[in-house]
Amino acid sequence: MTTDATARFREWAKQVAVWLAVTTLVPLTVWYGTAAVSSPPDEEEYQRQHTRLDSQITNGAKDQAVVDRLSAEREQLEKQHADAMKLFARHMFWVAYPIGLLAFAIGTVTAVQSVGAGLMFGGIAALTVGCYSAWEILGRWLHFGSLIVALAAILILGLWRFRRLGVVGAPNTSQNL
């Protein structure tokens, strides 16, 4: 490789590293930021209690009244855990969805390509995390509405960005990205 080609390759590698870092860190930051404010349920504690109750029901309880009480306790534990998971998923959606759209929008107008592309891909990942985490608890209209808003925003931003740069149908198509 020539010195010029080596320098271009090193610059390309650095830009890919920045892109990958931003793409990865946006959804991780959204998830951990949400978890810092609204903690997800403690899975280890839930599993420990669930295992203890299962063990007591199958091994230690001879009296039907005790089995019924332990079964009711296990059902209550499962309900509390499910409710806590739904609450966390709801919080994740309402944080990740708007931040994902915002990251995509900022990435669209960012001049540094590796940072802009990273924000755009990271925004898409954050949108995906937000929607996926809450998909089971969102109603059909919120499914549809959130997808329509995201699609419309991305289409509008993409059309605006690339038309403005002369990429699609603009009078001066000789400009390069």
> What digits encode the pLDDT tens for the residues 111-168?
999 999 999 999 999 999 998 888 888 888 988 999 999 999 999 998 888 886 666 5
Is 103 within the bounds of a domain? yes
Is 31 within the bounds of a domain? yes
DSSP result, 75-117: HHHHHHHHHHHHHHHHHHHHHHHHHHHHHHHHHHH-SSHHHHH
Is 177 within the bounds of a domain? no
Residue pair 122/31 in contact by the 8 Å Cβ criterion: no
Domains in the chain, number: 1
The residue range of the domain holding 111 is 3-164
- The per-residue pLDDT for range 47-91, each reduced to its tens digit, is 999 999 888 888 866 788 888 888 899 999 999 999 999 999 999
Measured CA to CA, the distance from residue 71 to residue 89 in angstroms comes to: 27
Q: Which of 35, 33, 141 is nearest to 84 (CA)?
A: 35
What global pTM score does this model have?
A: 0.77
Mean pLDDT computed over 1-22:
89
Is 174 within the bounds of a domain? no
Measured CA to CA, the distance from residue 36 to residue 69 in angstroms comes to: 35
Is 153 within the bounds of a domain? yes
Is 16 within the bounds of a domain? yes
Is 129 within the bounds of a domain? yes
Is 175 within the bounds of a domain? no
The CA–CA distances, whole Å, from 32 to 88, 96, 97, 114, 136 equal 12, 11, 14, 24, 21
